[in-house]
Structure 1
Amino acid sequence: MRRLWPLFLVALLLFGAGARDAFDRWIKATDLPVLLADTSVEVRDRNGDLLRAYTVDGGIWRLGITPDQVDQTYLKMLIAYEDKRFFEHRGVDPRAMLRAVWQATTSGQIVSGGSTLTMQVARLMEDSGTGRWAGKLRQIRVALALEQQVSKDQILTLYLTHAPFGGNLEGIRAASLAWFRKEPTRLTPAQAAMLVALPQSPTARRPDKNPKAATAARERVLTRMVAARVLTQGAFEAALSEPVSTTRQQFPTVAAHMADRAVSGQPDAQSHGLTLNKTLQVSLESLADKALQGLGERLSVAMVVADHTTGEILASVGSAGYAQGDHRQGFVDMTRARRSPGSTLKPLVYGLAFDQGLVHPNTMINDRPVRFGTYAPQNFDGAFRGELRVSEALKNSLNIPVVLLVDEIGPANLMAAMRKAGTDPKLPGGKPGLAMALGGVGVTLEELVQLYAMQARGGLAGELIWRLGQKGEETQRVISRSAAWQLGHILSGIAPPPGSSTNRLAYKTGTSYGHRDTWAIGYDGTHVAGVWIGRPDGTPVPGAFGAAVAAPVLFDMFQRIKPKLDPLGPPPPETILLANAQLPQPLRQFRGRNALFAPTQNALKLSFPPNGARLARTGQDLTIKVRNGQKPYTVLANGAPLATGIRREEIQLPLAEIGASTITVIDAAGQSDRVRIWLE
């Protein structure tokens, strides 16, 4: 018998080795579940802060995470509570399983589980049950196979990504955002304990549904952590006093329209980094809601802010509310909707006119009735102001002077300059016309902000960018440095809206035909911003003007961007800084290119009354006398038409108002003369 014992031992060893090899082959042959489950597509700002996330199939919130992105106290709690030998075992902890069996046998109920974190991952990946032996055996096999093929960090990552936390929440990031409205990078001990307890019974312990059960489960975890020396007694007592969060928070939906734009542009990307600043974006979205208070439920607002020195868009508000189906049609991104820009294109016209030598800011230009075939532009108030400086015509946003300049520049050249500046203007039909300068073209808010960024950069156009890593198109010159500086100098002299900051912001407002769109675009030495207010369906908003509706919002935007404006900078050396009397003769008064060669022998002259005359009011009509010029004549008093179609040289005017009056006569050729008188 003693001789057979060595043979028996050898046979036993061979049998054990064979069994071990067979077991290894069985484990290696395990058909593992798919480990690369879908996680939510995320959109982040320039600092990495989450702007928006999208659910995966089934409406599940499952956000990607790695252990180094999680609060270390939470990880210590998780390991100590769920699997304290996680980094030692190979998928199954025999000691824990034997303890669980012994406790269940002696007490008649389950006191503790024997599942390791790896086994829990196996169950989560296959969605298998926990109570059946077949399911438990499968979990053991998959857990052992997982340990052979992936690292401990990868297993922990799978748990942190897939653990259930109640409702449609999977993974610690989704849970932390939903229950605490923050990323899990820094958690209080009480919050960490709650997140350790929830996956064990995510439905029964949901803090919004069963706060008592959630509180009790959290306390059990905290008690165990003191025993495991993860927490001190002081930290334990402080954690107990912290209230349980019983409200599930909404996931961030910041810059919703821009997020949708990013995802639709790169549908296969898992993460999208934008140039936006979340803090500024949230502030402007709040301002958008505030701006529409009392303006009617059908109005919407859109805003864009960019750093014109880099071309990066820092904030983009597509509407006052993203919810679909509301009266404001908040799902429409109005930063990209083509609308009539009203008067916001006028600065570009003046900049082109400066560069072509047609006018200087101190050139006198005649605001008078004009007609171009069937087109007879009018000022917004129907009045005429006679001769005034070009800078004043721009500040007052007069229509007739800018149309006169477009007639000289050429509508096609204006269109070419807009395209050179990076816009894609759309005409309602036909060729470019003079009405372009007054808003007769379709552009977007984003394009207008890009156009004004060109002016702020000294006339250099560059593409605005909104995706991190995106490279804009090469810059190209649209207007000269001096013309751009002159525009900024003029626009910064426009009075701010009542009650707004007195900062010298270079800005321009606009109102489209029929009061359908109101605009305000402005810039300082660093930032450019624009706001649009109107109805997305394009219906009129009676009585709405850009200066009254949009401009105050623009100034509020800059207050939220920074407390103090950055200066525009000094004029370039080549800038002509002269008064009207010091300008070259052709630049002193705008008459158009053809007028420079027109004969002057038949120049229109208002011969009576003489300029500066003081006349007694007699109760009868005032007689004026006109010499030369081309009939018929038009007579204005203080900018308002008083008589038209006159073919006499002596004209009776029903002028009886005491005080100063300016009498202007305009002939059929566009020549004019005026006198200033005083009725006593």
Structure 2
Amino acid sequence: MRRFRLKKYIWWLAGMLMLGVVGILLLPLPIPFDKPHSTILYDRHGRLLGAALAADQQWRFPPADSIPQQFTTALLLYEDEYFYYHPGINPFSLWRAWRQNMRAGRIVSGGSTLSMQTVRMAMGNQPRTYRQKVYEMLLTLKLELLYSKEEILKIYAENAPFGGNIVGLEAASWRYFGIAPGQLSWAEAAALAVLPNQPAGIYPGHQMADFKRKRDRLLRKLHQHGHLSASDLELALAEPLPQQILAFPTLAYHLLQRSIQEGHRGKRVYSTLDAPLQQQVKQLTEQHSSIWAANQVHNAAAIVVEAKTGHILAYVGNTFNPGPHGQHVDIITAPRSPGSLLKPLLYAAALDEGLITPRQLLPDIPLFYQGFVPQNFDKKYRGAVAADQALASSLNVPFVHLLIDYGYEKFHHQLKQMGLSSLNEPAGHYGLALILGGMETSLDQLTALYAGTLRAYQRFGQRPLRQGYSRGDYFANRYLREARQETDTSRQERGYLRASSIGYMLQAMQQLNRPATEAGWQQFASSKKIAWKTGTSYGLRDAWAIGLSDDYVVGVWLGNADGEGRPGLTGATAAAPLLFRIFDILPGRAHFDQPFGATVAICRQSGMRAGSNCPDVINETLAAQLEGTPQCRYHQLIHLNEEETYQVNSSCYAVSKIKKRPWFVLPPVMAWYYRRYHPEYQDPPPFASGCRSGETKQHMALIYPRQFTRVYIPVEQDGTPGQVVFEAAHTSRNAVIYWHLDNQYIGQTNGRHQMAIRAAKGRHRLTLIDSQGRELSRAFVVVSE
């Protein structure tokens, strides 16, 4: 009978125990902590670049993989020496705490284990009562059932208060010592281990005597337990305590904010940046920006991209100069007008299509196209300029002429295909202004685009030029270390630009004159050959510079975030010096070799394929797509008398005495401007008397107006009709032109042929007659008086 009762009691106790376990498991346990985390940015090697507050304004790092052993040892020795031996509740600690509370008449000790403290933190540190204590003990039992001791330690270390808004070991380690937890010394680990016990009363800069006393007591205890030798204890006791809270590194503030905006809030963001390089580029950018601040230019940005991978190595989104100047704007991603930075791409595209040769003359003459009147930066015209020199000199007008020939719709489409997603309007919205910065893009997109061209060139530049290549060479820059771009380089499809065309572009970009700070750079062995281009937006609002070497693409911008323009703010003067200072700290240089191709005879003067009339021919290696470009159109075979003073023909001169000679002849408008910069340029001799035959309008040309141009003539302030200035050009420097409007003589010009004209609303005809009787006529329409 007794055995039956004993067995019954055992079953009853087991059942009650099971019910207790089930009851405990049913209790809601707020573990793991449901708290927001700070966003932490690291470089490619795991070095801290910056951190942002959690949503609740606390410094709380995301969960780490492990807790350093030194901190764990110090913490357990200070808080819970028997952590690994009790089930979450230590009866001896509770008995000691109860006796202390009874003697004091109030709660002075809780007898809590580390597990109980973890539960109390999770519940938000509720008021201390015996009822609350029992409830926390039950939750602690559940915690011990569900989590291992190591997991509980990790949860505690990540959520323990360390004073102020500093939560968790990792945040405290950085804020108090400026290092990662794994780098803590024994003295530093002991200092942090004693803080969670009384975070509001003891922290760096407050109650330092008590702080030191607690830390030193723990260090001696560590020595007693064999964790520190006597000499190590002596050194640890001599280590100073932190006196103030340290700031987190702010090496890449704008990239940190960008990562938050792109969905990485509360995470550890492992970037592609290189911390030492980032520090150097940031310092150079800030120094350069401080110089331009004297000219009320307050913002600057710089980016360094590894060309092969597209990884961003340095990212300075803006500078923090004193005053409210939009320092928080990330200029690297902000859309701005790029000025002339698209010209190299048009140059490469025109070469790719066989539209021009690398040194072919482009017209640099006044242009009036559907109300668009482009001008060069210096307001001058050169008549004709070699294409590569037009690029090196960043001339506007030749490239507008080239865009007309190439087609702005096609160029617009190509830019979008190559990654300029900021072109969100149809081609007609931008028109010809597209090539002069009449659109917006970002430093991030432009450097990615040029990095794509560099990848395409380097991968296929030494292969047969008829071989295709992968369009996968063009992709966005990347700042996330884990990001992967799968590029099938085995695919042989037609890409956006041939490697040869890109090679010509890079060679032309090396011809630019460097800023004054780089004068004489060729004389130094350490100097680097760089392909580069500047850009200046309309109104001197944005100064850009982009450079390419074998391994890197660097982009620089200076200006004001609010768009205010400033005198002298140009790409060449403001951005280029910083570009070259950044390249000075980068390894390597540019080796852009001559593209592979066939030897072709080129006219030295026109840069076109030599024709039969070209007297000065050079042999150059041209890519396959350029072998069929047009022959020189400017060298003509003219017939002269024996003295070579007049042009003649068989109708007025003996055929046996006629001399044939090739002559470089530009169209009238081009010739008129060309001779200003080329005094060696000679007009063909005039025709001998009686020898003019079928040869008229080539000597004269109207610069403005074009045929059927719609001309607006404003009304002056006094109410009188205004005037419009028409301009013409003549091949002869001393020519006299007689102007007629609607068959009425209105005046004559000599030298510079400009005429101010008043005309009523409606259609009119302008007629020009030179002193040799040659005639040129053009119709135009006045749309308003």
Alignment of 1:415-494 (within 5 A): 415-424=412-421, 425=423, 430-458=428-456, 461-466=473-478, 467-472=480-485, 477-494=495-512
Aligned residues: 631
Structure 2 residue aligned with 1:522: 547
Amino acid at match of 1:285: K
From 178, 183, 189, the counterpart of 2:180: 183
Alignment of 1:152-231 (within 5 A): 152-231=149-228
CA distance in 1, matches of 2:143, 2:373: 81
Q: Let me know the Cα RMSD of the aligned residues.
A: 4.2
Kindly indicate whether the alpha-carbon contact (under 8 Å) linking 2:602 and 2:610 is maintained by their aligned counterparts in 1: no
Verify: 1:573 aligned to 2:570, yes or no: no
Compute the displacement of 1:47 (Å).
3.2
From 406, 409, 429, the counterpart of 1:409: 406
Alignment of 1:18-97 (within 5 A): 20=17, 23-44=20-41, 45-66=43-64, 69-97=66-94
- Cα pair distance change 1:19/1:370, threshold 3 Å: closer
CA distance in 1, matches of 2:414, 2:58: 49
Structure 2 residue aligned with 1:651: 734
Q: Deviations over 1:100-123 (max 9, x none)?
A: 556778999999873211111111
Verify: 1:318 aligned to 2:317, yes or no: yes
Amino acid at match of 1:406: L
Structure 1 residue aligned with 2:344: 347
Kindly indicate whether the alpha-carbon contact (under 8 Å) linking 1:308 and 1:528 is maintained by their aligned counterparts in 2: yes
From 141, 147, 151, the counterpart of 1:150: 147
Kindly indicate whether the alpha-carbon contact (under 8 Å) linking 1:302 and 1:318 is maintained by their aligned counterparts in 2: yes
CA distance in 2, matches of 1:470, 1:648: 62
Q: Secondary structure at the match of 1:529?
A: strand
Verify: 1:556 aligned to 2:553, yes or no: no
Amino acid at match of 2:431: G
Q: Secondary structure at the match of 1:528?
A: strand
Structure 2 residue aligned with 1:504: 529
Verify: 1:338 aligned to 2:330, yes or no: no
Amino acid at match of 1:307: E
Structure 1 residue aligned with 2:132: 135
Structure 1 residue aligned with 2:307: 308
- Cα pair distance change 1:96/1:229, threshold 3 Å: farther
Instruction: Please identify, of 221-230 and 526-535, the stretch whose mean Cα deviation from structure 2 is larger.
Output: 221-230
Instruction: Please identify, of 28-37 and 529-538, the stretch whose mean Cα deviation from structure 2 is larger.
Output: 28-37
Kindly indicate whether the alpha-carbon contact (under 8 Å) linking 1:62 and 1:169 is maintained by their aligned counterparts in 2: yes
Q: Deviations over 1:45-75 (max 9, x none)?
A: 4334444444334312222334x53321111
Q: Secondary structure at the match of 2:456?
A: coil
Kindly indicate whether the alpha-carbon contact (under 8 Å) linking 2:71 and 2:189 is maintained by their aligned counterparts in 1: yes
- Cα pair distance change 1:18/1:593, threshold 3 Å: closer
- Cα pair distance change 1:64/1:369, threshold 3 Å: closer
From 252, 257, 278, the counterpart of 1:255: 252
Amino acid at match of 1:301: A
For structure 2, which runs of at least 5 residues remain unmatched after alignment? 458-470, 489-493, 522-526, 619-625, 639-646, 648-664, 688-695, 704-725, 737-750, 755-765, 767-785
Instruction: Please identify, of 190-199 and 232-241, the stretch whose mean Cα deviation from structure 2 is larger.
Output: 232-241
Q: Deviations over 1:426-477 (max 9, x none)?
A: 5699444323222222222112112211332235651124234445586872
CA distance in 2, matches of 1:339, 1:184: 43
Kindly indicate whether the alpha-carbon contact (under 8 Å) linking 1:257 and 1:318 is maintained by their aligned counterparts in 2: yes
Kindly indicate whether the alpha-carbon contact (under 8 Å) linking 1:70 and 1:186 is maintained by their aligned counterparts in 2: no
Instruction: Please identify, of 108-117 and 278-287, the stretch whose mean Cα deviation from structure 2 is larger.
Output: 108-117
Kindly indicate whether the alpha-carbon contact (under 8 Å) linking 2:39 and 2:265 is maintained by their aligned counterparts in 1: no
From 212, 231, 234, the counterpart of 2:231: 234
Q: Secondary structure at the match of 1:314?
A: strand
Compute the displacement of 1:393 (Å).
2.0
Q: Secondary structure at the match of 1:477?
A: coil
Structure 1 residue aligned with 2:326: 329
What percent identity do the matched residue pairs reach? 29
Q: Deviations over 1:552-599 (max 9, x none)?
A: 111222234x2x324334334237687644962269899x98995999
CA distance in 2, matches of 1:441, 1:470: 30
CA distance in 1, matches of 2:729, 2:63: 83
Q: Secondary structure at the match of 1:464?
A: coil
Q: Secondary structure at the match of 1:567?
A: coil
Structure 1 residue aligned with 2:609: 584
CA distance in 2, matches of 1:613, 1:115: 97
Instruction: Please identify, of 592-601 and 512-521, the stretch whose mean Cα deviation from structure 2 is larger.
Output: 592-601
Q: Secondary structure at the match of 2:699?
A: coil
CA distance in 1, matches of 2:213, 2:75: 17
Compute the displacement of 1:279 (Å).
3.6
Amino acid at match of 1:64: P
CA distance in 1, matches of 2:14, 2:86: 21
Kindly indicate whether the alpha-carbon contact (under 8 Å) linking 1:263 and 1:272 is maintained by their aligned counterparts in 2: no
Kindly indicate whether the alpha-carbon contact (under 8 Å) linking 1:169 and 1:175 is maintained by their aligned counterparts in 2: yes
CA distance in 2, matches of 1:648, 1:20: 112
From 609, 612, 631, the counterpart of 2:700: 631
Kindly indicate whether the alpha-carbon contact (under 8 Å) linking 1:505 and 1:523 is maintained by their aligned counterparts in 2: yes
Verify: 1:358 aligned to 2:386, yes or no: no
Amino acid at match of 1:88: Y
| TM-score of the aligned structures, taking structure 2 as reference length | 0.71
- Cα pair distance change 1:574/1:208, threshold 3 Å: farther
| TM-score of the aligned structures, taking structure 1 as reference length | 0.81
Compute the displacement of 1:203 (Å).
1.5
CA distance in 1, matches of 2:24, 2:57: 34
CA distance in 2, matches of 1:260, 1:319: 12
Structure 1 residue aligned with 2:781: none
- Cα pair distance change 1:456/1:9, threshold 3 Å: closer
Kindly indicate whether the alpha-carbon contact (under 8 Å) linking 2:548 and 2:590 is maintained by their aligned counterparts in 1: no
Kindly indicate whether the alpha-carbon contact (under 8 Å) linking 1:42 and 1:271 is maintained by their aligned counterparts in 2: yes
Q: Secondary structure at the match of 1:533?
A: strand
Verify: 1:380 aligned to 2:392, yes or no: no
Amino acid at match of 1:488: L
CA distance in 2, matches of 1:385, 1:62: 64
Kindly indicate whether the alpha-carbon contact (under 8 Å) linking 2:202 and 2:211 is maintained by their aligned counterparts in 1: yes
Kindly indicate whether the alpha-carbon contact (under 8 Å) linking 1:60 and 1:168 is maintained by their aligned counterparts in 2: yes
Q: Secondary structure at the match of 2:282?
A: helix
Compute the displacement of 1:125 (Å).
1.0
Structure 2 residue aligned with 1:536: 561
Compute the displacement of 1:128 (Å).
3.3
Compute the displacement of 1:652 (Å).
8.3
Verify: 1:277 aligned to 2:264, yes or no: no
- Cα pair distance change 1:458/1:575, threshold 3 Å: farther
For structure 1, which runs of at least 5 residues remain unmatched after alignment? 615-622, 635-642, 654-663, 669-680
- Cα pair distance change 1:649/1:56, threshold 3 Å: closer
Structure 2 residue aligned with 1:547: 572
CA distance in 1, matches of 2:175, 2:733: 84
Kindly indicate whether the alpha-carbon contact (under 8 Å) linking 1:458 and 1:482 is maintained by their aligned counterparts in 2: no
Compute the displacement of 1:229 (Å).
1.9
Amino acid at match of 1:584: R
Q: Deviations over 1:385-404 (max 9, x none)?
A: 44443222221112222222
